[in-house]
């Protein structure tokens, strides 16, 4: 009987501890990024808050990753200052954060060259149905100019980034 009481008290203490931890975690807001920086040459996306890196991810980029995007169909990831202007829960890829490409400078450059600047640049997961590839997708640049991460990483980014978050894509 004495062992049953001790076991019962131990389980009650453990349950109270675990409940307290769960409640504490639920009350703490996840860290939200105040900006995103993509370093194309390093194939890295960093979620930032006040000059601190919250998280960094290895990424795949456009098939022609050197240099800025200049026109539709060049398969390059743009370079410059943008914002996240939308979240797409359902797309061809596992979740997508739409980037506000082209900005005014991109549009002016393309028009000067008589080209369509293109658009529909996103940070996204892996193409639907191919999520099992996981980190192997980073073995080569494969997107049409987007920034790609694994589906699990996209879940983290999705939670940490709000519409309106600035995005800087550097060479």
Supply the DSSP string of 115-150, one letter for each residue: -------EEE-SBTT-GGGGGGGGGS--BSS-EE--
Identify the CATH number of the domain defined by range 31-170: 2.40.440.10
Q: What is the pLDDT of residue 7?
A: 34
| Mean pLDDT for the chain overall | 84
Q: What is the pLDDT of residues 46-68, one digit of tens each?
A: 999 999 999 999 999 999 878 89
Spatial distance between the Cα atoms of 91 and 11, rounded to a whole number of angstroms: 46
- Strand, coil or helix: 5: helix
pLDDT at 19 over 50: no
pTM above 0.85, yes or no: no
Nearest Cα residue to 78 out of 87, 86, 67: 67
Element housing 54 (H / E): strand 52-58
pLDDT at 171 over 80: yes
Share of the chain above pLDDT 90, in %: 73
Q: What is the mean pLDDT of residues 161-166?
A: 98
Q: What is the pLDDT of residue 94?
A: 94
Domain ranges of the chain: 1-30, 31-170
Q: What is the pLDDT of residues 96-154, one digit of tens each?
A: 999 999 999 999 999 999 999 999 999 999 998 988 888 989 999 999 999 999 999 99
Spatial distance between the Cα atoms of 43 and 140, rounded to a whole number of angstroms: 10
Spatial distance between the Cα atoms of 30 and 156, rounded to a whole number of angstroms: 10
């Amino acid at each position: 009987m004495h062992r049953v009481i001790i076991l019962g008290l131990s389980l009650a203490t453990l349950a109270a501890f675990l409940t307290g931890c769960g409640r504490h975690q639920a009350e703490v807001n996840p860290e939200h990024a105040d900006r995103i920086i993509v370093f194309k040459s390093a194939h890295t996306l960093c979620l930032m808050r006040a000059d601190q890196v919250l998280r960094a991810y290895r990424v795949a980029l456009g098939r022609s990753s050197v240099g800025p995007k200049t026109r539709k169909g060049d398969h390059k990831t743009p370079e410059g200052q943008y914002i996240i202007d939308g979240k797409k829960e359902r797309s061809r890829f596992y979740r997508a954060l739409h980037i506000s490409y082209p900005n005014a400078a991109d549009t002016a450059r393309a028009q000067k060259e008589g080209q369509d600047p293109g658009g529909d640049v996103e940070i996204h997961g892996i193409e639907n149905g191919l999520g099992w590839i996981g980190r192997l997708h980073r073995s080569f640049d494969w997107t049409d100019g987007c920034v790609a991460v694994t589906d699990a990483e996209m879940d983290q980014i999705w939670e940490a980034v709000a519409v309106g978050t600035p995005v800087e894509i550097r060479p």
